[in-house]
Amino acid sequence: DTGVSQDPRHKITKRGQNVTFRCDPISEHNRLYWYRQTLGQGPEFLTYFQNEAQLEKSRLLSDRFSAERPKGSFSTLEIQRTEQGDSAMYLCASSVSGGLTYEQYFGPGTRLTVT
């Protein structure tokens, strides 16, 4: 049973560039979540999907951020016109829905540095 995978693990980009991250959830998990974590803080929710439907998006999420999960399997998170404040660890997690437990398992994360 492979865990959640994310790609790339590290990304350095210049301010104003667009970046895209990929997340592959645990194979039988139909829910997929994106979080962002900055130094000294807990992860902060960005958005989540059940299958291909995006069910919730954080009000704090700028319109420069967009996420997709077109076939209900992997997901991508795109940040357009990056800013230095976007520098953070971007975490993906997955879970099953409709079961008796609601545990979310995290991938290794993508560390973004905007210069």
Partner 1 sequence: QKEVEQNSGPLSVPEGAIASLNCTYSDRVSQSFFWYRQYSGKSPELIMSIYSNGDKEDGRFTAQLNKASQYVSLLIRDSQPSDSATYLCAVNMAAGANSKLTFGKGITLSVRP
Positions that interact with partner 1 (CB under 8 A): 31, 33, 35, 40-45, 48, 55-56, 89, 91, 95, 97, 101-109
Q: Cα separation of 108 and 113, whole Å? A: 16
Q: Which is nearer to partner 1, 44 or 68 (CB)?
A: 44
Cβ nearer to partner 1, comparing 44 with 80: 44
For residue 8, whether the previous peptide bond is cis, meaning omega lies within 30 degrees of 0, is yes
Helix (H, G, I), strand (E, B) or coil at 65: strand
Least distance in Å: CB of 33 to partner 1? 7
- Under 8 Å between Cβ of 30 and 97: yes
CB of 49 to partner 1, least distance (A): 11
> At its nearest, how many Å lie between partner 1 and the CB of residue 21?
13
Q: Based on CB atoms, which residue is closest to partner 1, 55 or 81?
A: 55
The span from the CA of 24 to the CA of 100, in Å, is 23
